[in-house]
Structure 1
Amino acid sequence: MMKKVLFVINTLGGAGAEKALLELLKRFPENEYEVSLYVLLAQGELIHQVPEQVKILNQSYSDASVLSKKGKHILNQQIFKRLFVRGAIFKNLGYMLKNMAEMLKKGKLYPDKLLWRVMADSTQVIDGHYDMAVAFLEGGSTSYIHDHIRADRKVTFLHVDYSYAGYSRSLDRDCYLNFDRVFTVSDEVKKSFLEVYPECRSYTGVFHNLLDNEEIIRKSKLAGGFEDAYDGKRILTVGRLTAQKAYDIAIDAMKILKDHGVKAKWYVLGEGELRDRLQIKINHLGLKDDFILLGAKTNPYPYYAQCDLYVHATLFEGKSIAIQEAQILGCTLLVSDCSGNREQVIDGVDGKMCQLTPEGISAGIEELLSDEEKCREYGKKASEKLTVEKEDVLQMFRFNDN
């Protein structure tokens, strides 16, 4: 008998967790599973890449990027309308005020996290019963699966350092205590989560992001990549233009490199709400031709293959898809010494770590760009690290048969 499985994700934009979900959906045998997908905020450009055998449950949908200006406008309009559906904002007012006060006490406000439960309570009602329901992201999808979906087994995924990203037990109303399995994308994410939810230890495991190595290598050889005639060193970073990615620090590092006479250009693939602010800083420091925001690309892999150095200097990570992609393509990696990155790159073996400061990043870049032999060695080790990595997607279902 076919097992009915439901996946829920917050949005389906071009970010790491969303790419990992698409790869996961491809792995389900069509003759064993009836798989459905629901996108909580009904938006994201990757909807067209969902495997044909997966049933999309959204009654309406926008394929606008959630990170573009147009997409942000559409998303904000929808969020505002949803505040009043089924009285969700009023139902959760006390909850929101309490958690807002706790956030302010800690010195940082997370408006998006305050609204996730409102979005879960005001979204489309899904009838029916599932053998398993899977929340593939923290926040809204987890609340929605917990509160509104009927299933024999409920599973949730964590892709970020739980506390560092701004989550708390009060914000989640201890919902993780009621899931049958919790999967984290790395050991560090697991450790961070269990420090907050030690009661979940017996049913929390690690499920690494899935990538199609052969497809990534194939796409890296297609037409595309850098279009300028620059003949110096090319530095690449791939990621959303958000505070987590610390691009403001990277821009300052590029200014130091330029002042030191290093012949290099830094390219960034990605979109996000900080684009205008970052461009203003780039222009102010005279780096318009040195630190270049290329936007999001449908096929980023030729850029990886053509760059001299991949830099991933972020505040925190769960397990970075961009780092994995760079490793698959044999890039030389420089990463910041933070949670997530430490698990993916071994300093001095398959890449180099640096402090998340302009001086730390620029010094690491100068060292690597001046040592081609070390770069080749790191790139070779990085590509060897992931060529044999395989995952059995059915591991997440085995407990269901016990």
Structure 2
Amino acid sequence: MKKVLFVINTLGGAGAEKALLELLKKFTPDQYETSLYVLMDQGELIHQLPKYVKVLNKSYRDASVLSRSGKKILNKNILKRLFIKGAVFRNFSYLIKAVYTMEKKRKIYPDKLLWRVMSDSGQQLKEHYDIAIAYLEGGSAYFVHDHVQAEKKCTFLHVDYGYAGYTRELDRECYLDFDRIFTVSKEVMQSFLAVYPECTLKTRVFHNLIDQEEIKRKSLLPGGFEDSYDGKRILTVGRLTAQKAYEVSIDAMKLLKNQGIKARWYVLGEGELREKLQEKIHKLGLDKEFILLGATANPYPYYAQCDLYVHATRFEGKSIAIQEAQVLGCAILVSDCSGNREQVVDGVDGMLCSLTPEAVCAQIKLLLEDEKKCKELGKRASVKLMPEQTDVMKYFEF
């Protein structure tokens, strides 16, 4: 029986974490002894792990990593971890050099700076594994590379490598040493190989796994919109972070309101920008038109009940939220960026637009006024997904 270790940064309710849960189901206990280490010891999806997965964390908090209270817990842990094993001092010159490089590019990425420190202050794992798999960029990749003993090491990339702020210097070229590198889409692979061309032969596309039948089943459960609104409903699902460009969506909703379009835009998700976004919503007089619903354990009734799903983001790897909207036959509008354009064929199974309030507003207006078009797009979206992957485990054969 092979011993397999997965490492992930946190286990919050985001797309990559959901995809990990589905992948773990493939590592059946009759063939694998599967362990999981969550680098930051936190995340609410811990209760959804398959029963046979052994969690290695000595201490763990099931608080959300995106809610206000959960963020406070996470930040306290980060502060504590700076000094465990002298991690911040061991990486002092690395941090100074990284900050200097980022400043020259006029963009500082605090999370990217801290991942090396969080990796070096992680729990010591003495076990030797047949396969160790880092399921995210940054901390988990560094931890598996530097601190895990395994015959073979794999890693996953879920974002546009360059756009997200990663560099070879920041990674200390750790990807050169991995046996296999999996990217969730072709565009993610192209972005990564532009920086690491030496890794071409060992890099493969591994699409996110989703349980289509379970999504459909959960969409029929009680839940969804609770207000008595009788106009058009727009839905977006995603963390309240800069990547998701919600300020553009809010401005687009203001334009729709000014043009007399009767619609409400709902957002499912939590994140550090909640207060800032709510302030903008209130300032523009959109308290009834742009509604931050927070996170929910079952978002699928909302997908099934909305008139239009909008995913106007700056960049993606491969969006689980878009895949979920496709499963449930939503009419979909996405911004024309990496990741999104690989999932939606413009005018065929969804629509693409540039990431400006004017462009988003114009496309929403056209779609909301053309119910027939929306139904056609949703129908094509619902049948475009690939059949469930049955040969997943071939990727981990060495």
Residues in 2 aligned to 1:184 and 1:388: alpha-carbon distance in whole angstroms: 19
Residues in 1 aligned to 2:124 and 2:367: alpha-carbon distance in whole angstroms: 53
Structure 2 counterpart of 1:86:
85
SS in 1 for 2:3: strand
SS in 1 for 2:162: coil
Structure 2 counterpart of 1:296:
295
Residues in 1 aligned to 2:134 and 2:147: alpha-carbon distance in whole angstroms: 12
Structure 2 counterpart of 1:392:
391
- Give matches, 1:138-287, under 5 Å: 138-287=137-286
Structure 1 counterpart of 2:324:
325
Q: Match of 2:308, as an amino acid?
A: L
SS in 2 for 1:194: helix
**After TM superposition, which residue ranges in structure 1, 4 or more long, deviate above 4 angstroms?**
none
The answer to whether structure 1 residue 356 and structure 2 residue 375 are counterparts is no
Q: Match of 1:354, as an amino acid?
A: C
Structure 2 counterpart of 1:380:
379
Report if aligned partners of 1:28, 1:393 keep a CA contact under 8 Å in 2.
Answer: no
**TM-fit CA distance, 1:268:** 0.2
**TM-fit CA distance, 1:269:** 0.1
Residues in 2 aligned to 1:130 and 1:27: alpha-carbon distance in whole angstroms: 18
Structure 2 counterpart of 1:3:
2
**TM-fit CA distance, 1:187:** 0.2
Q: Match of 1:42, as an amino acid?
A: D
Aligned residues: 398
Structure 2 counterpart of 1:306:
305
Residues in 1 aligned to 2:373 and 2:51: alpha-carbon distance in whole angstroms: 44
| TM-score (normalised: structure 1) | 0.98
Report if aligned partners of 1:213, 1:387 keep a CA contact under 8 Å in 2.
Answer: no
Structure 1 counterpart of 2:119:
120
Report if aligned partners of 1:161, 1:339 keep a CA contact under 8 Å in 2.
Answer: yes
Report if aligned partners of 1:10, 1:41 keep a CA contact under 8 Å in 2.
Answer: yes
Report if aligned partners of 1:233, 1:264 keep a CA contact under 8 Å in 2.
Answer: yes
Residues in 2 aligned to 1:27 and 1:63: alpha-carbon distance in whole angstroms: 24
Report if aligned partners of 1:328, 1:387 keep a CA contact under 8 Å in 2.
Answer: no
Structure 1 counterpart of 2:57:
58
Residues in 2 aligned to 1:230 and 1:395: alpha-carbon distance in whole angstroms: 49
Q: Match of 1:343, as an amino acid?
A: E
Q: Match of 1:59, as an amino acid?
A: K
**TM-fit CA distance, 1:284:** 0.4
Structure 1 counterpart of 2:133:
134
Q: Match of 2:76, as an amino acid?
A: Q
CA offsets, 1:315-350, max 9 Å, x none? 000000000000000000000000000100000100
| TM-score (normalised: structure 2) | 0.99
Q: Match of 1:248, as an amino acid?
A: E
SS in 2 for 1:161: coil
**TM-fit CA distance, 1:386:** 1.3
SS in 2 for 1:298: coil
**TM-fit CA distance, 1:30:** 1.4
SS in 2 for 1:373: helix
Structure 2: runs of 5 or more not aligned: none
Q: Match of 2:354, as an amino acid?
A: Q
Residues in 2 aligned to 1:210 and 1:11: alpha-carbon distance in whole angstroms: 18
Report if aligned partners of 1:184, 1:204 keep a CA contact under 8 Å in 2.
Answer: yes
Report if aligned partners of 1:233, 1:265 keep a CA contact under 8 Å in 2.
Answer: yes
Structure 2 counterpart of 1:37:
36
Point out the more displaced range, 22-31 or 325-334: 22-31
SS in 2 for 1:282: helix
CA offsets, 1:7-51, max 9 Å, x none? 000000000000000010011121110000000000000000010
The answer to whether structure 1 residue 336 and structure 2 residue 372 are counterparts is no
Structure 2 counterpart of 1:18:
17
SS in 1 for 2:270: coil
**TM-fit CA distance, 1:391:** 4.7
SS in 1 for 2:23: helix
SS in 2 for 1:293: strand
Residues in 2 aligned to 1:187 and 1:393: alpha-carbon distance in whole angstroms: 17
- Identity of matched residues, %: 70
SS in 2 for 1:379: helix
Q: Match of 1:70, as an amino acid?
A: S
Residues in 2 aligned to 1:7 and 1:304: alpha-carbon distance in whole angstroms: 31
SS in 1 for 2:131: strand
Q: Match of 1:367, as an amino acid?
A: L
Residues in 1 aligned to 2:159 and 2:128: alpha-carbon distance in whole angstroms: 29
SS in 2 for 1:310: strand
SS in 1 for 2:330: coil
Residues in 2 aligned to 1:220 and 1:317: alpha-carbon distance in whole angstroms: 24
Q: Match of 2:180, as an amino acid?
A: R
**TM-fit CA distance, 1:392:** 2.2
Report if aligned partners of 1:8, 1:37 keep a CA contact under 8 Å in 2.
Answer: yes
Residues in 2 aligned to 1:69 and 1:388: alpha-carbon distance in whole angstroms: 38
**TM-fit CA distance, 1:387:** 5.9
Residues in 1 aligned to 2:380 and 2:127: alpha-carbon distance in whole angstroms: 49
CA offsets, 1:78-115, max 9 Å, x none? 11111111111000000011011101111100011101
CA offsets, 1:123-147, max 9 Å, x none? 1100110000000000000000000
